[in-house]
Structure 1
Amino acid sequence: MDVTDETGCDCGVTMSSDKIRTTCRIPSSKTMVQKLSLTTFYFFFLAILMANLSIATALGCPAGCMCNDDTYVVQCERSKLDVIPITLNPAIQRLVLRNNKIKTVDAAFQFYRDLQYVDLSSNHLVNIPTKSFLHQEKLQELHLNKNKLSSINNKTFQGLKSLTVLNLRENFLEELAKGLFSILPRLEELNLGQNRISKIDPLAFEGLLSLRVLYLDDNALSTVPTPSFSVLGSLAELHVGLNGFTSLPDEAFSGLGKLSVLDISSGGLSNISSNAFKGMTGLRSLNLADNRLQRIPTDQLGHLVRLEDLTIGQNEFSSLAKGSFKGLTNLRRIDITGANNLEHIEKGAFGDNLNLETIVLVSNKRLENLADGALVGLPNLRHLVLRENSFRTLSESVTSWGELRALELTDNPINCDCQLLWLLNSINSKNITNVQCSTPKRLRDKSLRTLTADDLGCSFGDPRQQAIIITFCVSATILLGMLGLFLFRYRQRVREALKDYKWNKRAISRKEHEYQKTFPDEDYGARVGQHHIKQIPVTEL
């Protein structure tokens, strides 16, 4: 058997029955060098292979994560991570790290240059080092909400040239400095809600030429940051509710000519200047709910000629007077929910709003009735929502029911009597929610749909028969009234006519009586026979 020893010598082994003989032959120097080089190469190759195997073993999906190498999506939600993992596939495009314990954004992002979506919400982020996103040129959405960020600067988001959505909601930001977002030219949505922002530089939003949606709600703003809006000419949606301002000055939203949606809910507003909405000719949706308005701001709303959706519940007004929404000719939906002082809606309250399609009157605990005709004259009304009010009955004359497609009346203390017979007859032909009776006691909790006209105490179940009877009674009343009026007006003449009639009747009766006595019936024929009628000659005529 031939082997090679450690020196590169060729050795032969000869075996016999009694001993083993080994003989070695020393190779030439040239042969020995060649074999040493080959051996070195083998060792070098083996070292590289082992290193690659070690790296491959280290790379992978961390415990508690889901990694999909086909879609390039990694989700590590509630995985107890305290740092951003660096062992992920470098080609990932979507990284979700919600609800972990990550405290900072480190250099790990430099390994993932194809990221398009990153969610770091609900972590423990305290700060973001400068240039942390320098290599994320493809990133489009960055969610940093629900963290502990107290400050950011104009270099925090350096490198995010493609970013369209930035979510910083529910952090501890207090101030927005000049040019803070100027390096985000493609940003379309910026959420700064639920922070502690009390000061905004007039040029804080400078450079956001593509911004369409801005959230500033639930902060510590004492006045409307009107100067800051001047650079947001493309803004379409603004949320500034839940702040500390109680009034809107003239032209409070100057510069926002393209604004379509405005939310000022829950802001404690008690005063709106006459020209607060001046220039907002493109506004389509306005939310004024949950404020302290004691009356409908009719004149102020009149500037919003294109308004289609108005939410104005949870305020302090007690009635809707005639023409409350004058000028809002394009209004299609109005929502008055939770107006605890609202008691009455007058006829013509929506008289100028002929395009209304949906009226929502919900949870107005003092609203017991609608005036007859309060909703008449709305040819496009399709949905009427009257849930959770204090209606005991509903008159058929409240609105024109012909075009109505849906009526919601649940959770009202409905009194089921004959006044609701029209509604009972309409239930099967219209989409009306289940109406439960509250009174009388014998019908409590019963569905109006299951009742009959007799159950409602109606004498005549057929509405046409009722109409005929009512028409007859009304006609008879009118005729009797006219006759009485005639007799009263001409009572003297009637009295004289009746007097003459009675006197003549008595005189005729007396003469006839005497005549009957002078010529008895027995003698009348005899007397006629005894007297011949003298013929009158023709010549004498």
Structure 2
Amino acid sequence: MASRGSSSPSTLPIAIAMAAVMTVVASGLCPARCRCDDESLRVSCAYAGLEVVPIQLNPEIRHLDLSNNRVTNVHLTFGFYGNLESLDLSSNLLHTLGLTNFGMQQNLITLNISSNMIHTLARNALDGLTSLKELNLASNNISEISEQAFKSISELEVLDLSDNSITSLSDELLKNLHKIRTLILNKNSLLEVPTNNLALAPSLERVDLSDNLILELDRDSLPSLPSLISLNLSNNVIRYIADVAFDRLPDLRYLDLSGNNLTSVPTAALARLNVLTGLVLSTNPLGYLEAVAFRNLFELRILDLNDCMIANVNARAFADNVNLERISMDGNRELKELPARVLYGARYLKWVSLRRCSLATLQPTQFPVDGLSHLRVGGNPLVCNCSVHWLWNVIRAEERRNETRLELDTHDIVCSDEEFAGRALIALSEGSLRCRLSPLYLSLSAAGCFLAAAAVLILIARLTRAKRKRQSLAYAAPNRPEFLVYVGRGDNGLDKSAESYSRRLLARNNEDISYDSPRGKVAAAMAATTTDYSPQSRETNIYETPRYPGRRDAVESTLQGKQPPVEEGVYAVADVTDLRDEPPEVLSLYRARSPPVARSNALRRLDYSYDYEYDYDYGPTAPPSPPPSPPPPLSEKPHVVFV
């Protein structure tokens, strides 16, 4: 009895102490340098210098942040917190996750274990995380993952294994991840696309394989991923892409191929992605953009071509990209000019960046300036003359606006020509933006104009000469002076005696001269001679003009039932080069007949058997009855034609 009585007082303080501890645990004790919120059931112990996981926290907490501490293990530490929904253990000193240390975390949705020193992920390391949706294992040193490591996290949607030392993945690793949407494997050492694992996860929407060592994309590298929207293959060493590499990605919207070794745009492969809206090809040695380089990409809205060593751009390079909204071609130092209207087909273009190229001038016809919201052209060696006057006006207009409509890198737009080197374009006056033509250019322009004028004159001369030749097919122009003189009527016997022509022309003193005609030689000894004319008539008839029957003669002949007389005149062409005392040489003889009465009296044409026409006017036509008085005779004038 004594012993019992003596023992009860000694056990009472222990019971009281235990009761106090249980009360403290039940209510929760927030460690120093931690922030505890019992209302939201959230505890943050980030940067608290902890080396172990605290066990005295409120067991009902749902969000626990233990990042940036010095925790080295998690063995049997989370059994107190069965209601956790998010746990952050990033940036600690964990070397392993152990086995079944998360068995009580059936409600955990997000687990972040990034930036630790984990080497291996064992098969049971994640057992119990049946509700886990997001797992971040980035920036560890993981080189080996058990094929069964993810067997119990079938609800996982996001898996981040970036920045590790993974060279390959087990073929069955993603077998149970039926709901996975995002797989991040960038910054590893993968030598090829993990085709077999991707094929096990058709629900994938985003895959990041950037910063690996993938060499090529052959026809079977990418399996059927009908839900894939984004694919990042940047910063690999890809040199070759098969034409059908993207055939099984029907819904791909974003593709990043930057930082590879592509020497040309993979036009054929990209043409299969007809719903692609974003394409990044920066830091590839493309060199040249050919016509329709982005064929069939009608839905493309964002295009990055920075630092691609592009030297030439075809005027139709972006012909199919009618919905383009943003394009960046910064850092293409070999690019010295852009073709006119190269981006005018992009009707919705809002953002253009051409910084750090070698463009000496810019034209407003290269892109639709009126519709832009951002224009970045700084860092180009611009020649500040009239070619950039439009840009000066745009900058000035934007400075005067109360609300900026177009954002420009104004202070980076600097002149590089000798006159204004180092000065900002906006600092120049409008009058200084003029085009200065070099003397050589002016000389060449003047010489070109002179040569063009000379060529035109030569052409005109040749055409005129050819026209004259065509017009003178029946008559070759002589190279000596000639004149045509009427020498008499054909019914006076002149057609029977050549000597009569010479007497009527000039050779009145020589009765033995005969003449040659182009239509045949005139016989020198023609028998008939004419002696009916007196010297006075010879003098008169030298310049006698032809007298044709008037209307009165025609009327009288008609009333008498006779055919009106037809008169014939004779003309002679003589050479007057050395006209002295000797008679001139008769070169040609011509006959002209009076026109028939039936023709109009207003206009008569004579046929000389050559391409010459002479018009004779005989006065107005009178009514047939009563007979009109005869018209006054035409005055006889010398009929001389110089040819």
Please name the residue that 1:354 is paired with: 322
Distance 1:92 1:228 in 2: 37
Distance 1:492 1:457 in 2: 47
1:491 aligns with 2:490: no
Distance 2:323 2:381 in 1: 30
The correspondence for 2:80, drawn from 111, 133, 136, is 111
Specify whether residues 106 and 442 from structure 1 end up closer, same or farther in structure 2 by C-alpha distance, changes over 3 A only. same
Distance 2:461 2:183 in 1: 78
Specify whether residues 540 and 213 from structure 1 end up closer, same or farther in structure 2 by C-alpha distance, changes over 3 A only. closer
Distance 2:119 2:629 in 1: 144
Please name the residue that 1:230 is paired with: 199
1:337 deviation in Å?
1.4
1:443 deviation in Å?
3.2
Give the 3-state SS of the residue equivalent to 2:465 in structure 1.
helix
1:42 deviation in Å?
10
Please name the residue that 2:391 is paired with: 423
Q: Deviations over 1:368-387 (max 9, x none)?
A: 22122322322221211112
Worse-matched range after superposition: 265-274 or 51-60: 51-60
The correspondence for 1:53, drawn from 20, 23, 39, is 20
Worse-matched range after superposition: 290-299 or 417-426: 417-426
1:220 aligns with 2:179: no
1:399 aligns with 2:367: yes
Paired AA for residue 346 in structure 1? N
Worse-matched range after superposition: 101-110 or 306-315: 101-110
1:5-404 residue pairs with structure 2 within 5 A?
A: 48-55=15-22, 60-339=29-308, 341-404=309-372
Paired AA for residue 190 in structure 1? L
Distance 1:539 1:70 in 2: 139
Paired AA for residue 464 in structure 2? R
The correspondence for 1:433, drawn from 385, 409, 430, is 409
Does structure 2 retain, via aligned residues, the 8 Å contact 1:97–1:120? yes
Specify whether residues 295 and 44 from structure 1 end up closer, same or farther in structure 2 by C-alpha distance, changes over 3 A only. same
Paired AA for residue 385 in structure 2? D
Q: Identity of paired residues, percent?
A: 28
Worse-matched range after superposition: 449-458 or 248-257: 449-458
Does structure 1 retain, via aligned residues, the 8 Å contact 2:121–2:146? no
Q: Normalising by structure 2, what TM-score?
A: 0.65
Paired AA for residue 98 in structure 2? P
Distance 1:176 1:50 in 2: 47
Specify whether residues 380 and 489 from structure 1 end up closer, same or farther in structure 2 by C-alpha distance, changes over 3 A only. farther
Does structure 1 retain, via aligned residues, the 8 Å contact 2:88–2:113? yes
1:350 deviation in Å?
0.6
1:289 deviation in Å?
0.3
Worse-matched range after superposition: 110-119 or 66-75: 66-75
Specify whether residues 418 and 44 from structure 1 end up closer, same or farther in structure 2 by C-alpha distance, changes over 3 A only. same
Distance 2:467 2:409 in 1: 62
Does structure 1 retain, via aligned residues, the 8 Å contact 2:288–2:313? yes
Structure 1, unmatched stretches of 5+, are: 1-6, 8-35, 460-475, 504-537
Worse-matched range after superposition: 417-426 or 276-285: 417-426
Give the 3-state SS of the residue equivalent to 1:142 in structure 2.
strand
Please name the residue that 1:448 is paired with: 425
Does structure 2 retain, via aligned residues, the 8 Å contact 1:177–1:200? no
1:125 deviation in Å?
0.6
Give the 3-state SS of the residue equivalent to 2:79 in structure 1.
helix
Give the 3-state SS of the residue equivalent to 1:67 in structure 2.
strand
Please name the residue that 1:410 is paired with: 378
Distance 2:415 2:456 in 1: 46
Structure 2, unmatched stretches of 5+, are: 399-404, 437-448, 472-476, 482-627, 632-643
Does structure 2 retain, via aligned residues, the 8 Å contact 1:231–1:255? no
Distance 1:94 1:400 in 2: 52
Does structure 2 retain, via aligned residues, the 8 Å contact 1:129–1:156? yes
1:197 deviation in Å?
1.3
1:454 deviation in Å?
0.6
Paired AA for residue 409 in structure 2? T
Give the 3-state SS of the residue equivalent to 1:454 in structure 2.
helix
Paired AA for residue 92 in structure 1? I
Specify whether residues 405 and 80 from structure 1 end up closer, same or farther in structure 2 by C-alpha distance, changes over 3 A only. closer
Does structure 2 retain, via aligned residues, the 8 Å contact 1:84–1:106? no
Does structure 1 retain, via aligned residues, the 8 Å contact 2:121–2:144? no
Worse-matched range after superposition: 342-351 or 178-187: 178-187
Does structure 1 retain, via aligned residues, the 8 Å contact 2:378–2:414? no
Specify whether residues 421 and 79 from structure 1 end up closer, same or farther in structure 2 by C-alpha distance, changes over 3 A only. same
Specify whether residues 485 and 199 from structure 1 end up closer, same or farther in structure 2 by C-alpha distance, changes over 3 A only. same
Worse-matched range after superposition: 193-202 or 117-126: 193-202
Please name the residue that 1:466 is paired with: none
Please name the residue that 2:605 is paired with: none
1:163 deviation in Å?
0.9
Distance 1:229 1:215 in 2: 12
Specify whether residues 485 and 205 from structure 1 end up closer, same or farther in structure 2 by C-alpha distance, changes over 3 A only. farther
Give the 3-state SS of the residue equivalent to 2:371 in structure 1.
coil
Distance 1:56 1:390 in 2: 75
Q: Deviations over 1:484-538 (max 9, x none)?
A: 58834542389899x9xxx9xxxxxxxxxxxxxxxxxxxxxxxxxxxxxxxxxx9
Distance 1:65 1:540 in 2: 142
Give the 3-state SS of the residue equivalent to 1:407 in structure 2.
strand
Distance 1:488 1:125 in 2: 99
Paired AA for residue 269 in structure 2? Q
Does structure 2 retain, via aligned residues, the 8 Å contact 1:418–1:453? no
Number of residue-to-residue matches in the alignment:
451
1:252 deviation in Å?
1.4
Does structure 2 retain, via aligned residues, the 8 Å contact 1:487–1:494? no
Paired AA for residue 188 in structure 2? N
RMSD: 3.3
Q: Normalising by structure 1, what TM-score?
A: 0.76
Does structure 1 retain, via aligned residues, the 8 Å contact 2:218–2:245? yes
